[in-house]
Chain A
Amino acid sequence: MGIFEYAPAPESRAIANLKDHYRPFINGEFVDGSGEPLKTINPATEEVLAEVGTASVSDVDTAVKAARKAYNTVWSKMPGSERAKYLFRIARLIQERSRELAVLESLDNGKPIKESRDSDVPTAAAHFFYHAGWADKLDYAGYGPNPRPLGVAGQIIPWNFPLLMLAWKIAPALATGNTVVLKPAETTPLTALVFAEICQQAELPPGVVNILPGAGDIGASLVEHSDVDKIAFTGSTDVGKLIQRQVAGTAKKLTLELGGKAANVVFDDAPLDQAIEGIVNGIFFNQGHVCCAGSRLLVQESVAAEVLEKLQYRVSTLRIGDPLDKNTDIGAINSAEQLAKIQGLVESGDAEGAERWTSPCPVPDRGFFFAPTVFANVQQSMRIAREEIFGPVLSVLTFRTPEEAVAKANNTPYGLSAGIWTEKGSRILWMANQLRAGVVWANTFNRFDPAAPFGGYQESGFGREGGRTGLEAYLNV
């Protein structure tokens, strides 16, 4: 094995306070949904974690009515300074229960505990804290005096960052005075329902936040509902297009945060060891289940061989396994379905002639795991260079000149993120200017902050989350 041997250091599963049953949260209460209950599993073991009641179409209507009533009678009338205090309370409660939320997130999602503990949960709390402060300062947000909320927001979030995506959606919506009906992803509903408990503990007025577990059909009926004023969706570009079609011709305001195929561009003058860490973080963070993952590595030809060698060495030291183990670098793929999708795309890479290298690290027998994989000699026309894999698979392409790097980086219908690695400041700024992407990380990757707007160009969606810019998504401006 590798240089270091590690004893197991598992976080206790008991911290998650896992319950046998979870239920939808409507109008301030946990209620029996009239949908077919689903079983959510631990993707690292394939064991059932809990049974979760789901919403039916009629529950969607009940939740929207509750949100409308809360909007009309309470939330839209409340001074921003009072709304702010609820959001501050929620931020604090997330911090207080952060360990529980982190363990529960890792159980339900499969992500390593070090990521849920150090990234997902603290950033979720930070989003509420940040937006709390906006609630009574909207006059200063640059949209004219007294910008108005939209009303009831329907929000649909993905399974890759369940609690964090919830925070990205709910915090700005509430701060600007909207009420929400949120549908968590089918495979990761648990932290959203603990968040519902937090809303109760914060004494948030009933109906301001409603959480409806369910599958895509529940999301679709939320999008269709005539009394919803706003739809916010994070997920795949294919589903985003369906939602945009569904919303077309209605008065609903829409924001979409969709897929990506980010180029991570490494120049020959880059500090290579630092770049390797950034490349690894860019594609293997959260098993590559990241819409802004640096999934296309563009390396300057003169250093390509060296980068590939260093990269393979570094990747071979990543430990894959129990998400609750504090030493785990790569956890479980979230579902059998996603694992099959990754396997299919990897096979296409083989078939289309890319050179595949897979880390020799041991992979658990049970659960959904996929060993880190790097494809060299990738051509732009290959599926692994064009399609979002959403897994721990990196495609490596080369370039000679900065102009070629830009042309290749921008050769995609997506435009969510990009990376630049070089020591030359003027080149960083030139590249940042040329890349058609909503987030550009230079000499770093995968940084997120509630104060920094995030979102895509082109088919990666429209609208921003975070910062002053992000408030626009929930204001009638």
Chain B
Amino acid sequence: MSDRISVAKTYKLYIGGKFPRSESGRVYPVTDPKGKFLANAAHASRKDVRDAVVAARKAFGGWSGATAYNRGQVLYRVAEMLEGRRDQFIAEVISSEGLSPKKAESTVDAAIDRWVWYAGWTDKIASVLGAANPVAGPYFSFTVPEPTGVVGVLAPQQSSLLGLVSVLAPVLATGSTAVVVSSAERPLPAITLSEVLATSDLPGGVANILTGRAAELGTWLATHGDVNALDPTGAAPADRPGLARDAAGTVKRVLTVPDAEPDWTAAPDLTRIRRYLEAKTVWHPLGI
């Protein structure tokens, strides 16, 4: 160990492709599981949520309108950048979650692989979930899955990177855009992930990551009129019914999630992707 004084990082929010501080000026201290100070994280406010939703809505047209091949390449580029920061993520997962180096390594590897898995789905979703409909009449009818829109994601509180990747990547793979509230106590890998996203050709606003409290910010996402779906994974089980009631005000799609955090190392399936899709059926007459 050298005696050199390291350059400490100021951890900020990620909104619209930029790294602002919270407009509220609030921060909160982040510690490791033993209570050692790691950093001050920006403590996002309702206004930050609203700014992030505006950014996500603005980005939706471009991201959902991009070709599936293009989205796949951008998301794969994210995995490439994740791989390049592998050591940094391992260190942050160790300090955030208190994992052994070996366990942290396998967790980060699983997160990178998870991202690659979802990246590969972008240009297969429509052929797997869409259909040509054999209707009883002289019409051509087909059904295509389309992205739901802006998704509010309360990321898992425990699994600071693998869990976060597992809930964010499916949103982006469908062509939806996201406003994510990271784990409150373990936000540092989320902030580093936003630095990865910012350098991966992902258009600004497609993914927005806020550090703060799900209990405080969840309700602003659930009641926001321009949010189309809500993943309440990171909310306390006792808070989820209230969020679901709030979400009903604009008929949001609300994910059903287990009380306790699932085992994020389990192989994913299409469930999360399906939750962020709307089937669109198009009809046209046949004739000469």
Contact A439 B281 (CB under 8 A): yes
Q: CB of A432 within 8 A of chain B?
A: yes
- A83 to B254 CA separation, bound complex (whole angstroms): 32
Tell me, yes or no, whether A340 is within 8 Å of chain B by CB.
no
Whether B135 contacts A449 by the Cβ 8 Å rule is yes
Query: In the bound complex, do residue B244 and residue A447 qualify as a contact, i.e. CB atoms below 8 Å apart?
Result: no
Q: Complex: how many Å from CA A472 to CA B145? A: 14
What residues of chain A lie closer than 8 Å to B260, measured between beta carbons? Answer: none
* A13: Cβ under 8 A from any B Cβ: no
Contacts of A455 in B (CB 8 A): 279
Q: Which residues of B contact A462 (CB under 8 A)?
A: 251, 253, 278
Q: How far is the CB of B288 from chain A (nearest CB, A)?
A: 14
A interface, size bucket: 35 or more
Asked whether any CB of chain A lies closer than 8 Å to the CB of B134, the reply is yes
Q: Which of A258, A449, A455 gathers most chain B CB within 10 Å?
A: A449
A194-221 vs B, CB cutoff 8 Å, 1 = contact: the mask equals 0000000000000000000000000000
A458-B228 contact, Cβ under 8 Å, with A241-B249, A248-B245: yes
The reply to whether B248 and A248 contact each other, CB–CB distance below 8 Å, is yes
Contact between B135 and A249 (Cβ–Cβ < 8 Å)? Answer: no
Q: How far is the CA of A454 from the CA of B281 in the complex (A)?
A: 7
- Measured CA separation A432–B269 after assembly (Å): 29
For the complex, is B1 an interface residue (Cβ under 8 Å from A)?
no
Within 8 A of A (CB), among B229-288: 240-242, 244-245, 247-251, 253-254, 256, 269, 271, 274, 278-285
A447 adjacent to B137 (CB under 8 Å)? yes
Whole-angstrom distance from the CB of A461 to the nearest CB of chain B?
6
Q: Is the CB of B281 within 8 A of A248?
A: no
A453, B274: Cβ atoms under 8 Å? Answer: no
Residues of B with C-beta under 8 A to A256: 251
Interface 1/0 per residue, A441-477 and B, CB below 8 Å:
1111001010111110111111010011100100001
- Given known A-B contacts A241-B249, A248-B247, A144 and B143 have beta carbons under 8 A apart: no
B245 touches A452 (CB 8 A): no
Does A453 lie within 8 Å of B283, measured CB to CB?
no
Residues of A within 8 A of B129 (CB): 142, 469
Nearest CB of B to A294, in Å: 13
Instruction: Summarize B's interface: helix, strand, loop or mixed.
Output: mixed
B94 to chain A, nearest CB (A): 36
Given A249-B241, A469-B143, A449-B251 contact (CB < 8 Å):
no
Q: Which of B134, B225, B240, B248 has most chain A Cβ within 10 Å?
A: B248
Provide the bound-state CA to CA distance between A438 and B144, in Å: 10
- B133 lies within 8 A of chain A by Cβ: yes
Q: Check A126/B284 contact, CB under 8 A, given A237-B251, A241-B248, A457-B278.
A: no
Q: Does B5 have its Cβ within 8 Å of any Cβ on chain A? A: no
| Contact residues in B for A440 (Cβ distance below 8 Å) | 280-283
B28 / chain A contacts, CB cutoff of 8 Å: none
B69 at the interface (CB under 8 A from A): no
Contact of B134 among A249, A439, A451, A472 (CB under 8 A): A451
CB of A248 within 8 A of CB of B284, answer no
Question: Which residues of A sit under 8 angstroms from B281, Cβ to Cβ?
Answer: 438-440, 452-454, 467
Residue A424 interfacial (CB < 8 Å): no
The residues of B that contact A244 with a CB separation of less than 8 Å are 244, 247-248, 251
Q: Is there contact, CB below 8 Å, between B250 and A459? A: yes
User: Is the beta-carbon distance between B128 and A142 smaller than 8 angstroms?
Assistant: yes
Interchain CA distance A468-B241 in the complex, whole Å: 30
Residues of the A chain whose Cβ atoms lie less than 8 Å from the Cβ of B66: none
Contacts A126-B136, A249-B242, A452-B141 aside, 14 further interface pairs with beta carbons under 8 A come to A144-B269, A248-B245, A249-B245, A258-B251, A440-B283, A447-B137, A449-B136, A449-B141, A451-B133, A451-B134, A451-B141, A461-B251, A467-B281, A469-B129
